Structure 1
């Protein structure tokens, strides 16, 4: 029988390395300061081996069980996931078409007793993450589908360049492919007040490779990332094994919900929450 959420969460995390539930300890502060420094310089930080090694197979098996529930809808998109036929200037980066090939298993299809769902809802985990991002607190997304997802990338496919809806994201690799599936990103290529279209277009057209940073993750690695303002993608997966990543989405504000157009793109459906006036974090293109 699986214990209730939070009851044995310390048995999931390698607390010998990461005492995330002991915010008064010196070791906790050391870990937090290291993550903060990496976020400040790189826009991304990896906490390797966050989940205990003896639970990696459980983590993988749970992800593999829900991966077939992912919504697949390969389509032509752009970096902002807005209408590809929108009336935009000829040199606008949204005019560069890409194929969205990955799939998402939505939060309402992920069992509450899985490791990733228990982590997502755990208060100590959120306190740790908030400290790492230098925030007083963070909130679960109000979005019943996008708050927690499993990102599924099959062999021969990738996840194209995009920005996240929320200010920052936390992810946990649950299954690695044999080859490929590299996480690439351009830290802080835009800001809450500036889209910087020219810089985004240069990356999309392959004219600014130096801005791109690359990261190969391993199962159990926790990744903290400022995905709202950092362009990012997953390169083509090679081999026979899918790439599975749990994505934990939080926000500084409570109640943040994705817009209905993008929600339908990602999950093939919308709920009443998406039809209401959603709380937004800024006025950027999505």
Structure 2
């Protein structure tokens, strides 16, 4: 990948001193904070190409401002009155699905690059990673228009890899609460306190720049992108991998994000296996 700053991030040289230093630092940050940012992962000379490709893709996004809760679930009248799932937010961000992203684009080539996938797996302390089999959600461009935000939520995957391709004029700050819940405990009280603003002490903020690669453990970390202001969208490529091959998105979530589902989603839903029993 000529677009990656291989002097700082020697993807093709695993086991070298430079590779080990980056991987060790990233692992430590993920253990301590659940998030690690690799600044200028993409060379500055490629930033304009990255931005232009994202800007050309953005009109292909599926836009649907909808009311949602932090768990992206239906608001059940049986929920207790103080349950965080009763707090309604508007989700105004949009996604360009993988099947509308050209295979020759920077983000598509990076997503499939074996040395990049091996590097990401090492940073997450995993023996290997696999591309999602999902033809829509494996690789997406997240678009947040001015006046919109990506409200508080949890990820379906335990880990997320993203690359900022266009920075807004104002706002668009990534905020997160590492390990606010676990596979065994939803910790509803703490989640509600953050959503209502009663307690922002768990919240960390991360301002990203073009070309920055972010590795994040989002299954147990509440997180959002704050409202974007000015005249420029915020664009982020999101790379989805799994520890096992053949993973597909759910029918419900896929329809929410892209406005459509494919026969492969319905087929996969019958054999889906959950990694935990959390609400979402």
The within-5 A match list for 1:255-270 is 255-270=246-261
Q: Residue by residue, what CA displacement relative to the aligned partner does 1:104-153 show, whole Å, maximum 9, x if unpaired?
A: 00111111111101111111111100110011111112222111110000
* Aligned residue-pair number: 277
- 1:151 paired residue number: 142
In the alignment, structure 1 residue 242 sits paired with structure 2 residue 233: yes
- 2:262 paired residue number: 271
Cα displacement (A) at 1:45: 0.3
SS, match of residue 144 in structure 1: coil
The within-5 A match list for 1:28-177 is 28-85=19-76, 87-177=78-168
Measured in 1, the distance between the counterparts of 2:136 and 2:220 equals: 22
The within-5 A match list for 1:207-246 is 207-246=198-237
In structure 1, list runs of 5 or more residues that go unmatched: 1-8
Measured in 2, the distance between the counterparts of 1:106 and 1:204 equals: 29
Measured in 1, the distance between the counterparts of 2:75 and 2:202 equals: 25
Cα displacement (A) at 1:285: 2.3
- 2:278 paired residue number: 284
SS, match of residue 58 in structure 1: helix
In structure 2, list runs of 5 or more residues that go unmatched: none
Give TM-score, length-normalised by structure 2.
0.96
Higher mean C-alpha displacement, 19-28 vs 191-200: 191-200
Give TM-score, length-normalised by structure 1.
0.94
Measured in 2, the distance between the counterparts of 1:248 and 1:194 equals: 27
What RMSD in Å do the two structures reach over aligned CA positions? 1.1
